[in-house]
Amino acid sequence: MKNLIVLVFLLSFFYGHTQKSKLSAEHYQNVRKSFRQKMPDHSVAVLFSAPIRNRANDVDYIYHQDPNFFYLTGWHQPHSVLIIYKDAQTDGSGVYYDKIYVPERNDYMEMWNGKRYDLEEVKELGFDRVAERVDFKSDSQTLDHFDKVMMFEFKNDIRNQKTYIFKDNVRYKVDDPLDLFDLKAAFREAINFPNDFNRLAYKAYQRIMEVDQENHQAVRDEVAYLVKQDSLLLEDEIIKDFLKDPAQDFYKEAKMKTAYALRNINFDTETLSSIMADLREIKTKNEVDLLKKAVAISVVGQIEVMKAMHPEMSEREIQGIHEFVYRKYGAADEGYPSIVGAGENGCVLHYIENDKEDLHNQLVLMDLGAEYYGYTADVTRTIPANGVFSVEQKALYEIVYNSQEAAINASQVGNSFRSIYKLSYDIVAEGLLQLGIIDEASEARKYYPHGLSHHIGLDVHDPGNYGDLKTDMVITIEPGIYIPENSPCDPKWWNIGIRIEDDVLVTSEGPINLSAGAPRDWESIELLMKEESALKDFVLPEINSLIQ
Q: Is residue 45 close enough to count as binding ligand GLY by CB under 6 A?
A: no
Distance in angstroms (rounded) separating the CA atoms of residues 235 and 215? 24
Closest distance to Mn ion from the beta carbon of 105 (Å): 41
Q: Which is nearer to ligand GLY, 332 or 460 (CB)?
A: 460
User: Which residues ranging from 482 to 541 are in contact with ligand GLY (CB under 6 A)?
Assistant: 501
459 binds Mn ion per the rule CB under 5 A: no
Residue choice 236, 268, 333, 478 for contact with ligand GLY (CB under 6 A)? 478
What is the x/- site pattern for ligand GLY, positions 325-344, by CB under 6 A? Answer: -----------x--------
**CA distances in angstroms from 27 to 85, 174, 250, 342, 505, listed in the order given:** 18, 39, 49, 42, 20
66 binds ligand GLY (CB under 6 A): no
Nearer to Mn ion, 233 or 420 (CB): 420
379, amino acid identity = V
Instruction: For Mn ion, give the closer residue by CB, 137 or 293.
Output: 293
In the complex, the smallest distance separating the C-beta of residue 294 from Mn ion, rounded to whole angstroms, is 13
Q: Which residues contact 41 (CB under 8 A, 6 or more apart)?
A: 86, 147
Query: Kind and range of the H or E element at 512?
Result: strand 510-513
The 8-class DSSP code of residue 356 comes to -
**Nearer of residues 179 and 501 to ligand GLY, judged by Cβ:** 501
Tell me the three state secondary structure of residue 195: coil
Question: Cβ of residue 419: shortest distance to ligand GLY, in angstroms?
Answer: 20
Pick one of 460, 498, 506, 514: the residue that binds ligand GLY (CB under 6 A).
460
Q: Is 287 in the site for ligand GLY (CB under 6 A)?
A: no
**Residue 197 interacts with ligand GLY (CB under 6 A): yes or no:** no
Nearest C-alpha neighbor of 378 from the set 466, 499, 276:
499
Nearest to 480 by CA among 491, 496, 469, 466: 496
Nearest distance from residue 377's CB to ligand GLY, in Å? 10
Q: What is the DSSP letter of 388?
A: S
Q: Scanning residues 349 to 408, which ones bind Mn ion (CB under 5 A)? A: 367, 378
**Of residues 182, 367, 371, 405, which one binds ligand GLY by CB under 6 A?**
367
304 near ligand GLY (CB under 6 A): no
Size of the site for ligand GLY (CB under 6 A): 7
Residue ranges in 483-502 that form contacts with Mn ion under rule CB under 5 A: 501
- 125 contacts 25 by C-beta, under 8 angstroms: yes
Say whether 418 sits in a helix, a strand or coil. Answer: helix
Is 476 a residue that touches Mn ion (CB under 5 A)?
yes
Residue 378 makes contact with ligand GLY by CB under 6 A? yes
Where b means 16+ CB within 10 Å and e means fewer, 69-83 reads bbbbbbbbbbbbbbb
Pick between residue 74 and residue 341 the one whose CB is nearest to Mn ion.
Answer: 341
* H, E, C per residue of 136-178: HHHHHHHHHHCCEEECCCCCCCCCCCEEEEEECCEEEEEECCC
- Residue 51 or 369 having the CB closest to ligand GLY: 369
Per DSSP, helices labelled H in 114-262 are: 119-123, 134-139, 180-190, 199-209, 216-229, 237-243, 250-261
Pick 405 or 459: Cβ nearer ligand GLY: 459
The residues of the shown chain that bind ligand GLY, judged by CB under 6 A, are 336, 367, 378, 454, 460, 478, 501
Positions touching Mn ion (CB under 5 A) are: 367, 378, 476, 501
